[in-house]
Structure 1
Amino acid sequence: MMINTMDHAISSSPACSNCRHTATCSGKLDVTLAGRRRSDLRRLKVLSNGDDSLLKRRRFENLDHDLPHHSCVIGRRREMEDAVSVELGFVNEDSRKFDFYGVYDGHGGSRVADACRERLHKVLGAEMEMEIGNGNTAEMDWERLMVESFAKMDEEVNETDLVGSMGSTAVVAVVRDDEIVVANCGDSRAVLSRCGAAVPLSNDHKPDRPDELERIERSGGRVVNWNGQRVMGVLATSRSLGDRQLNPYVIAKPEVIVKKREDGDEFMILASDGLWDVISNDMACHVVRKCLDGRIICRRRSQQMNDTQYRMTNAATLLSGLTMARGSNDNISVIVVNLKD
């Protein structure tokens, strides 16, 4: 009896039960992830084979040949509130060129996002030219430049009563031959593909992020669960440009990340949260890598585009289509930047 009791105790111990449960859950998780990956690959095959059954579900708001690298899709929303900006050579310093890329996700309307598209790179360019004029070119103070530029942009949009309760997130990147600078304000995101791995270049500003929650509550605000965590029950991002009525809880100060460029850098993706809500960093990089390698093609090549521009635009378009296929209900804006050339 003692032996049987001990055998029973050992076989039904919590540790063994946990191990069996963990093994079962792990197996189910692997099967689920494998199934999702196969489903995504089938969607990519449908899009790349020219079957427009998925393409018909997308509503393109702005995809013109004068602005390559990007895709802007209104999706299932009634209004397009996103905006993108691609400004190659927006600042020149002797033989060095600075390129600017920006994705703006508006809310409450499109006016703030549109204003950022037209003005933010100009405001930043003026600040950079002052820095260059002062001889500070080797090591620019990117933190100060970005923070001051975002603050001036925020003042501009808040000066007019037309904006009202509107606002916009902003993720922007400045690329030059030796470094990449990303400034993020909100829940849009930038991701770098380096040596086959996805490297985050920004951190989403969500109201329930511990440091953001502490900052909001310290300033007298609250985060309320109203169809998701929202500042004062209104806004699902804790930082943005505009949103005058939510100051000081929602701020326009960006977080800045500077990366030195390396030989293994392949490309960079900037996109609004319409994409990141349903697509992981790794999956997005996987899709873009296949497009840039010429293994997936889903749109015809325009005569105005060279091969590099075509492949980047193709990658952005395919990401938008996959995002819609995975059920995104938001506007979707994507910029793909090839860092190999």
Structure 2
Amino acid sequence: MMMNSLDDHGTFSLSSLTTCRQIAGCSSMLDVTAARRRRSEFRPLKLLSNEDGGFRKSERYENLDNHGNRDDDFPHHSSVIGRRREMEDAVRVEVGFVNDNSREFDFYGVYDGHGGSRVSFECCERLHRLLAEKMKMEMKMENGSMNWERLMIESFTKMDEEVNEGGLAESVGSTAVVAVVSDDEIAVANCGDSRAVLSRDGATMPLSSDHKPDRHDELERIERSGGAVIDWNGQRVMGVLATSRSIGDRQFYPYIIAKPEVTVNKREDEDEFIILASDGLWDVISNDLACHVVRKCLDGRIICRKNSQETNDNQYRMTNAAVVLTKLAMARGSKDNISVIVVNLKD
């Protein structure tokens, strides 16, 4: 049984062990244990097909753009307000945002605001432009190579200065995870607890490391700068922030910094896709499960979007995968805004 039938809400239900076994990639009775584990992981999707489940009863659960407007056309990504009162996430996709005639670069960014949406929305509007300016300057140099660590750090620092100078960020901030993808490289910069993950030849590769206050090196840095990490409904900087790095949050400087960690990976033929998402996803879904779900979506084995006509279209499948992940995170109890970008590297 292929998972390609839609109910009235554009979702499917997981109604049999056979279906779950196929989704989990199990082919024999020897895989029953794995199938049962996968079935338990996917069981929350069954809630999404329940007409009385309430998932689609409120627009707070619908896809939102960066201004809070609903939209059914979201290439590559899905972003939902979830169970929060305010939408503080913002998402940016800029295909071909820099082009030097020999190379083209695509930009993907997820921004998770806290204390309000002003900083995350400002990052969404400005950070890729700041990075593009610096990349174009770099291209004018003789060798034309990219020093991604310097470019990313300078762009994030400039973004932090702008929101602080504009008075946006006294007690408001945003995490940021961005990826620049070209034909030969994947450069990822992360500041905060959003995350980027790569699937390569069926294996899951983290492209970023969450900046949590209780991460050993982050805890040492905070304490050296005179700050403290306090257990107040979880480990928090000064008992307030659950992330140890962000753009903005001026009142917590120098404990909270905007310096990103940067990773650069050469593209390989075995690369499948990248997932970038806010912690609303990662709080309830593991890297491996997220990659497993996306792989099935890109294979056309999970279809969960409504009013879709071009189900074989690559852009549709990426968007569908992002929607499935946001819905699965909601069904598994995520209490945060949830934003997901899926980039198919096989395209």
TM-score range, shorter chain: 0.7 to 0.9
Aligned match of 1:80: 87
CA shift for structure 1 position 301 = 4.7
Aligned match of 1:53: 53
**What CA deviation, in whole Å up to 9, does each residue of 1:109-154 have, x standing for no partner?**
00000000000000000000000012342x3110100000000000
1:316 to 311, 322, 326: 322
Alpha-carbon distance in 1 for matches of 2:33, 2:219 = 33
Alpha-carbon distance in 2 for matches of 1:117, 1:97 = 21
Aligned match of 2:26: none
Aligned match of 1:147: 153
Q: Is the 8 A contact 2:47 2:331 kept in 1?
A: no
1:110 to 107, 112, 117: 117
Q: Is the 8 A contact 1:50 1:298 kept in 2?
A: no
Any idea what SS the aligned residue of 1:117 has? helix
One-letter code of the match for 1:124? Answer: L
Aligned match of 2:187: 181
Any idea what SS the aligned residue of 1:190 has? strand
Q: Is the 8 A contact 2:175 2:193 kept in 1?
A: yes
2:197 to 191, 196, 200: 191
Q: Is the 8 A contact 2:237 2:255 kept in 1?
A: yes
Alpha-carbon distance in 1 for matches of 2:33, 2:244 = 33
Q: Is the 8 A contact 1:40 1:322 kept in 2?
A: no
Work out which of the two has the higher radius of gyration on C-alpha atoms and give 1 or 2. 1
Aligned match of 1:200: 206
Change (3 A) 1:109 1:33: farther
Equivalent residues in 2 for 1:232-243, closer than 5 Å? 232-243=238-249
User: How many correspondences in the alignment?
Assistant: 309
Q: Is the 8 A contact 2:175 2:247 kept in 1?
A: yes
One-letter code of the match for 2:61? Answer: R
Change (3 A) 1:164 1:170: same
Alpha-carbon distance in 1 for matches of 2:51, 2:249 = 42
Any idea what SS the aligned residue of 1:109 has? coil
Q: Which runs of 5+ in 2 are unaligned?
A: 1-31
More helix per residue: 1 or 2?
1
CA shift for structure 1 position 41 = 2.5
Q: Is the 8 A contact 1:65 1:304 kept in 2?
A: no
Alpha-carbon distance in 1 for matches of 2:229, 2:161 = 25
CA shift for structure 1 position 37 = 2.8
Q: Is the 8 A contact 1:67 1:86 kept in 2?
A: no
CA shift for structure 1 position 44 = 3.8
* TM-score, normalization by structure 1: 0.86
Q: Is the 8 A contact 1:185 1:240 kept in 2?
A: yes
Any idea what SS the aligned residue of 1:177 has? coil
Aligned match of 2:228: 222
Alpha-carbon distance in 1 for matches of 2:235, 2:82 = 23
**What CA deviation, in whole Å up to 9, does each residue of 1:15-48 have, x standing for no partner?**
xxxxxxxxxxxxxxxx99975532233334665x
Identity among equivalent positions (%) equals 74
One-letter code of the match for 2:188? Answer: V
Alpha-carbon distance in 1 for matches of 2:40, 2:228 = 40
Change (3 A) 1:196 1:130: same
Alpha-carbon distance in 1 for matches of 2:314, 2:295 = 13
**What CA deviation, in whole Å up to 9, does each residue of 1:53-94 have, x standing for no partner?**
364266123363554110001000000000000001110011
Alpha-carbon distance in 1 for matches of 2:50, 2:293 = 16
Any idea what SS the aligned residue of 2:292 has? helix
Q: Is the 8 A contact 1:313 1:336 kept in 2?
A: yes
1:295 to 286, 301, 323: 301
Q: Does 1:133 align with 2:140?
A: yes
After TM superposition, the structure 1 stretch with the greater mean CA deviation from structure 2, 50-59 or 161-170, is: 50-59
Q: Is the 8 A contact 1:91 1:99 kept in 2?
A: yes
One-letter code of the match for 2:127? Answer: L
One-letter code of the match for 2:119? Answer: V
CA shift for structure 1 position 302 = 4.7
- Provide the alpha-carbon RMSD of the alignment: 2.2
Alpha-carbon distance in 1 for matches of 2:35, 2:313 = 33
Any idea what SS the aligned residue of 1:198 has? strand
Change (3 A) 1:304 1:91: farther
